[in-house]
A and B are shown apart, each in its own frame.
Chain A
Amino acid sequence: MSTAVGIKVEEHFHNAEQQRETAKLGMWVFLLTELLLFSGLFVSALVIRVLHPDSVTAVALHLKFWIGATNTAILIVSSFCMSGAIESSRLGLRRPMIFCMLATAGLGVLFLMLKGYEYDRDYVEHMTPFLSFRRYELVGDPASRLFTDLYFVITGLHAIHLTIGIGIMLVMSWLASRPHFLERHQNRIEITGLYWHFIDLIWMIVFPTLYLLNR
């Protein structure tokens, strides 16, 4: 059942260990970049909270807490599936690994569907200040509009990352379903996993920043 596990050493590396560590560090540095990308938004959101606590509370109360909380749970479970995929890849268990990866991608899709439903509710409830043809009906306070804007930018950027993550997951499962993949590129599963966990982690910051504080 289990197949051999390893990586094919490229010509500019001395050995597999060096290549493995290099790839892993590369992904970590990339994630550092991603963290800074989001932290500009988080800091902006927190500054607005401090400056306009009342209008921010009004928006935060209007966000669908149950959707945010459910989505948090979905992503935690998806990360669990991803760990399952990584562990299976280390053991050379190809089929369980692909099953876990597809489950991970499926949970990601579920997240996006719920998120889409939430955006739809926001639209119906006139919570879309940036649409010029649709009246903004939350509170008259300008600052609440600012926070609503940031809510869309932050969740939108996260959704883009998640969509990319799902895409990578599907491509990787397709590549990994072919023979000899684990013998040559086992570490790619781990790198993909790092990215996936990171997207979850970002949501763990997004959720309290937008939905929980001031509630």
Chain B
Amino acid sequence: MNPSDAALRDLRVPAPVLAVPDDYLHVEQTLGSWILTTDHKRIGILYLVSITGFFVLGAIAAGLIRLALIVPDGSILSNDVYNRVFTLHGVIMVWFFLVPSIPNTLGNFLLPLMIGAKDVAFPRLNLLSWYIFVIASLFTVFVMIWGGVDTGWTFYTPLSTQYSNSYVLTAVFGIIVVGFSSILTGMNFMVTVHKLRAPGMTWFRLPLFVWSLYATSLILVLATPVLTIALILLFADRAFGLAIFDPANGGDPVLFQHLFWFYSHPVVYVMVLPGMGVMSELVTAFSYKKIFGYKFIAFSSVGIAVIGFFVWGHHMFYNGMSPFAGLTFSLMSFIVAVPSAIKVYNWAATIHKGSIRLDTPMLYALGWIGLFVIGGVTGLMLASTAIDGQVHDTYFVVAHFHYIMVGATVVAFMGGIHFWWPKITGRKYSEPWGRVSALLMFIGFNMTFAPQYVLGYMGMPRRYAVYPPAYQVLNVLSSAGATVLALAYIFPMIYLIWSLWYGEEAGDNPWGAKGLEWLTTSPPPKHNFEHTPMVDFDPYDYPNVTPEK
């Protein structure tokens, strides 16, 4: 080698490159770039962190309830403290965890990715929605822990207006404000789906998760204001001496229940519809098969959202409702079960003869189907006026709605988080630990809540700290199940966070799944796609197909 060659060799040495990834997680690193971000992906993460915090608080309250119910004589928590604890549990879990759970975390993250947009329609409103949510929720939780509220999450009048001596006013104020966050998110998603779809992304090419988010947003936009007005009236009754719900002055306490359930029944579908959307994605990806009955699933989401507005009376069969009204609400409640059943059949048909992989998300999905079917069928029992007379306000109702809220919403949330974790963080989590947690969740959940069906059927009422000793065995079983369930929540929190630093690099599409979100890098760049995607393919175009004719 002569000297001139050595000089040439040195010239060919490439300039050193610092391998700084420019995805949305790394593009800016300051605190300000997070708390002032308008990037829907980062806002999704902000929501994920905050609702996880609220979930932990709500779960601690649940743990206290189960702890207190180990003994029948109420010697662990007094009646008053017990009332405050279950109210805390209900309010946190419903408004600060379940309602924002899937839509505001996975929905925020995925909606623009799935339809090929750069962001949601109103990015600044999206951030505002998070601020409203966090500030109002923290305020409410602070009030409820510091002062306490003992009315139950339903705030039924006249207990909440005249008799309760606790911090109802401030808590109600906080919940009214949290409602604005729901409304803003609902608006944002609806407009995003209408106006920001990529070229070629027709309505029937939308992933079913997007359809379910659309139906959810419809409910958020139409139902939340009715809760707002019901709570404003409650607030005015208590604060300014109005008499809207005061029977002594011509008011009607049942009017509150009508307004309340006009929101709170549809909002059950706010919790479960996004879960169904996640399910549609999981079942197809892990059966490696095109979804069966796409249009049926899509329209059944909208059907549930619409019919869900006409079933609220089934919470009030025994509050002086006329038998004809009861019959009508009962019939409507049976009808709203049809679209849910359609979905379950379609998923079953999708799994049938698919190339099934039993990875963690699929385990959650299979558990979901089992829990949802049990929760749904007992829902039909409760919708029959005669059976409801027997089990109204018992643990049967508690078990039923936990099968839906936890069995359907939380399980789908966990499944979805595991499925999209590689996309969100760019890392893989520990698959064995994932599978163990999914199984533990199924076992722990059933151990906790299946005994409550029996308890309720035997006649144990809700909301009491003291119960007859005959019910103790099943209550202890339920509390034991709650500890298993707790493990199923703690494990993922540990191994998912661990994977952020030590997890294997995931690659763009670790599951071989279809959909626009898997076409971009993991984690996605700040504006989601290098170029706006052109959509010229059907959704879920997996190799396996069930002939539909």
Contacts and interface: CB of A to CB of B under 8 A. Distances in A.
Interface of A: 11-14, 18, 21-22, 25-26, 29-30, 32-34, 36-41, 44, 47, 52, 55, 129-132, 141-146, 149-150, 152-153, 157
B229 A41 contact: yes
B249 interface: yes
Nearest to B121: A22
Interface string B252-277: 10010001001000000000000000
A142 B244 CA distance: 11
A146 B243 contact: yes
Nearest to B222: A36
Given A40-B259, A157-B232, 20 more contacts: A12-B118, A12-B196, A18-B195, A22-B121, A22-B191, A22-B195, A22-B196, A29-B186, A29-B221, A32-B221, A33-B224, A34-B225, A36-B225, A38-B229, A39-B226, A40-B229, A44-B255, A129-B243, A142-B248, A145-B249
Contacts of A146: 243-244, 249-252
Nearest to B195: A22
B163 interface: no
Interface in B228-246: 228-230, 232-233, 236, 240-244
Interface residues of B, number: 42
Nearest to A144: B250
A157 B121 CA distance: 29
A33 B187 contact: yes
A29 B229 contact: no
A95 B146 CA distance: 55
23 contacts: A12-B196, A14-B532, A22-B121, A25-B191, A26-B187, A26-B191, A33-B187, A33-B221, A36-B221, A40-B226, A40-B230, A40-B259, A47-B255, A52-B250, A129-B242, A129-B243, A129-B249, A130-B236, A130-B241, A146-B243, A146-B250, A149-B243, A153-B242
A37 B222 CA distance: 9
Interface in B462-492: none
Contacts of B188: 26
Given A22-B121, A143-B250, A153-B236, A33 B243 contact: no
A40 B179 CA distance: 16
Contact of A37 (B123, B186, B229, B248): B229
A13 B232 CA distance: 37
A13 B117 CA distance: 9
Contacts of A39: 226
Nearest to A55: B250
B244 A26 contact: no
Contact of B250 (A41, A131, A145): A145
A37 B241 contact: no
B243 A29 contact: no
A57 to B, nearest CB: 15
A33 B250 contact: no
CB-CB nearest 10 A-B residue pairs: A142-B250, A37-B225, A12-B118, A143-B250, A12-B119, A40-B229, A36-B225, A146-B250, A22-B195, A130-B241
A30 B187 contact: yes
B183 interface: yes
A29 B252 CA distance: 31
Contacts of B183: 30, 33
Contacts, number: 107
Interface string B194-214: 111000000000000000000
B167 interface: no
B190 interface: yes
A135 to B, nearest CB: 13
A130 B187 contact: no
A78 B250 CA distance: 38
Contacts of A144: 250
B495 interface: no
A125 to B, nearest CB: 18
B122 interface: yes
B116 to A, nearest CB: 11
Contacts of B251: 146, 149
A40 B229 CA distance: 7
Nearest to A10: B123
Contacts of B236: 130, 149, 153
Contacts of B195: 18, 21-22, 25
A26 B121 CA distance: 8
Contacts of B232: 153, 157
Nearest to A146: B250
A52 B183 CA distance: 34
A67 to B, nearest CB: 22
A9 to B, nearest CB: 12
Contacts of B252: 146
A149 B117 contact: no
Contacts of B196: 12-13, 18, 22
B501 to A, nearest CB: 31
Contacts of A132: 241
A76 B221 CA distance: 28
A174 to B, nearest CB: 20
Contacts of A26: 121-122, 187-188, 191
A23 to B, nearest CB: 8
A39 B244 CA distance: 16
Contacts of B187: 26, 29-30, 33
A150 B244 contact: yes
B214 to A, nearest CB: 12
A39 B259 CA distance: 11
Nearest to B192: A22
Interface string B18-36: 0000000000000000000
A173 B423 CA distance: 46
Nearest to B241: A130
B241 A131 contact: yes
Contacts of A12: 117-119, 123, 196, 527
B191 A40 contact: no
